[in-house]
Amino acid sequence: MPRSPLLDLAFGFMPAQMIHVAAELGVADAFTDGRPSSSTELAEAIGAHAPSLHRLLRGLTGLGVVEQKEPDLFALTEEGRRLRADAPDSIRSLIRLFCGPQVWRTWGDMAETVRTGEYAWERVTGSTPFEYFASDAELSATFNRAMAEHTRDIAPAFVEAHDFARYGTVADLGGGDGTLLAAILRAHPGIRGVLFDLPTGLADASGPLAGVADRAEIVPGDFFEAVPAGPGAYVLKSVIHDWDDEKAAAILRNCRAAMGPDDRVLLLEQIMPEMVAPESAGIVRNDLNMLVATGGRERTEAEFRELLDSAGLRAVSLTGPLRETAYHVIEAAVAD
């Protein structure tokens, strides 16, 4: 009887945790000057048990993270280099967040979520995700870096796809450390920007905004209460999918209240197809992550239009998927 491919999928937690441990312990960062190192050297650098680390390194060899040069000599591969905190294309924080204990526990409780419709994060941690991040400075910093890593990869396509020069000021709502806003301002020297987020989200904003700080205003606030009036465009990147329809509509209604007749809301989101196929696996997994972790959802184009309508907005254009990404830009204006 042939081996079922479902077994490889079911055992997918094993490589996920191997990579997570490498990211969590800083294994890639311990390779100095790009030279091969032994498990003993690496263990001393990161404070690990050398024999156990040797066994992990053998596992990471099979995943293409390291290359085994000798029985106890390993070299970091080009892909493994992305687990370094200082790599320009680092994904270390993304892996630490999404394979970390909190997200891990929410996925482990998915059966109860499917039974009840109640998202797992609050059930297993006792608080909502953003309340939890606010109470844990280290996890909050990891979350902020992870979001910046993800934004860094899609920002060029967003900037390329939309004409931001038509706005005098662009506000990035829930913009975190300003990675996206900085990319917009660098590409358009004639405009100004507003970075708006909770204080915990803005903690690291000085770095990404350093080169455009003279044109960027940092405004702490809560988009469930109000958003700044005045900008010509309000960008919400991967914000609406975090929330159920009621909360998502509340955010959009606050945007509507602050907007003038010619202003725009720009949603940077993935769009769920009406009929999924194997190539839809990425967005379907994202949707399930929202199901267990935040109570939000990935939406179809029709669902986005209904949501905008409920907030007094109308979709005027849909662009995407953007180059080398799964993201679309939904441009919305004040409804007539």
Using CA atoms, how far residue 282 sits from 50, 82, 94, 298, in Å, is: 36, 21, 15, 11
- The one catalytic residue among 20, 54, 150, 241: 241
Rounded Cα–Cα distance for residues 293 and 129 (Å): 7
What tokens were used for 283? Answer: 């967005």
Active site residue 241: yes
> How many Å apart are CA 143 and CA 5, to the nearest integer?
33
Concatenated DSSP letters of 82-134: GGSTT-TT--HHHHHHHTSHHHHHHHHTHHHHHHH---HHHHHHSS-HHHHHH
Nearest to 74 by CA among 46, 40, 47, 48: 40
- Render the burial of 82-103: b for 16+ CB within 10 Å, e for the rest: bbbeeeeebbbbbbbbbbbebb
Q: Rounded to whole angstroms, how far apart are CA atoms 322 and 180?
A: 15
Q: Which position has the token pair 């205003």?
A: 217
Q: Which of 252, 242, 243, 258 is nearest to 315 (CA)?
A: 252
Catalytic positions are: 241
